[in-house]
Structure 1
Amino acid sequence: MSEHELCTGMSSEWFTPPEIFRALRLTFDLDPCQPNEGRAFLSVPCRRFLTAAEDGLTQPWEGLVWMNPPFGGRNGQVPWLRKFMRHGNGIALVAARTSASWFHDVAVEAETMLFPRGKTKFVRPDGSRGGSPGTGIVLLGMGATANNALWNSGLGLFVNNRRVVA
């Protein structure tokens, strides 16, 4: 689930397209950001979900996490990203706003990043595809399983962000 862009239509829910999950070839242990409604067209291969009503931000996380966080207002995804980085095992999808302070303060903590080719057309709660959003996305990887899946996905530009200190 994500408010990937500000809502300009009937819903602020934007679901990750299934082709991303096919390319990753993973089953996740937890998606802490599932919507309360419109879930018929969700394609997240996951064993356990937490809905917005269950507030995944306050619940414990275990295992390999898929996270497409609710963006909310300005910097709304930051608390989710901080928890994701502390958890250290999974893949997070966020807007590739590389000039934003939150990107430099939090997103760059990811071990790996994958910038998919082109604009990702998200799925609406009714199953239709959205148009081309105003910005691209980045998939942030933490942990060996997630990093290897991003590397092998063929989705786009893979960046190993692990810092080497001499």
Structure 2
Amino acid sequence: MTKPYHAMTGRSDEWFTPPEIFEALGETFDLDVSQPETGREYLSVPCRRFLTMKNDGLSSAWDGFVWMNPPFGARNGVVPWLARFMRHGNGIACVYARTSAGWFHDCTPKADAMLFPRGKTKFIRPDGSRGNAPGDGIVLIGMGKRAVSALARAQKAGLGITVKIYRKDTV
């Protein structure tokens, strides 16, 4: 069995979100909380400011409308990032769509909407090349009215299917 790209010796855990996602969302973010240290010339995140590993995006102050594509490598490594994102409550997060995972069920009921892109998203490697279809799909998780509008716009653009979250207390 072949290891995923990020698990290969000397390979990066940093994958860049492809530009077509941002084109469909039609947004400029105030802050990217987990931008890579290297290869940023291949990034397409439309943002005013960013944090990198050196800035420790997980513990630094967040403000405004955030974009979060956290490190995907470690098992359940996304959990502290998602918890922080949910507390912040304003932005869009890109994570694995592991709908059977406990963390998915613990975190997503707090979201306002989610968009499941059609097919498997082919991320950009730190060298600028496009990866092959990954083993898992992704989900874009939206918090706040602006995020819900952006996800709805992305659905209209053909990116995927948006689902609005209904909480127990509102049903």
With normalisation by structure 1, the TM-score equals 0.93
Deviations 1:116-160 (A, max 9, x none): 000000001111100000010000000111110101112111100
What amino acid maps onto 2:170 in structure 1? Answer: V
What amino acid maps onto 2:140 in structure 1? Answer: L
Is 2:139 the counterpart of 1:138? yes
Structure 1 unpaired stretches of 5+: none
Percent identity among equivalent residues? 64
- Aligned counterpart, 2:119: 118
DSSP-derived class of the 1:147 partner: helix
DSSP-derived class of the 1:48 partner: strand
Are residues 6 and 37 of structure 1, via their aligned partners in 2, closer, same or farther at CA, if it must alter by over 3 Å?
Answer: closer
Give 1:158's match in structure 2, choosing from 155, 162, 170: 162
Structure having the higher helix fraction is 2
Q: CA RMSD in A?
A: 1.6
Deviations 1:38-97 (A, max 9, x none): 111000000000011110111111000000011342111111100100110000000000
Distance in 2, Cα, partners of 1:159 & 1:5: 30
Distance in 1, Cα, partners of 2:65 & 2:108: 18
DSSP-derived class of the 1:47 partner: strand
- Aligned counterpart, 2:43: 42
* Alignment check: 8 A CA contact 2:7 2:73 kept: no
Runs of 4+ in 1 over 4 A off after TM superposition: none
Pairs aligned (count): 163
Structure 2 unpaired stretches of 5+: none
With normalisation by structure 2, the TM-score equals 0.90
State the Cα distance separating 1:7 from its structure 2 match. 2.5
Are residues 67 and 97 of structure 1, via their aligned partners in 2, closer, same or farther at CA, if it must alter by over 3 Å?
Answer: same
* Alignment check: 8 A CA contact 1:5 1:133 kept: no
DSSP-derived class of the 1:85 partner: helix
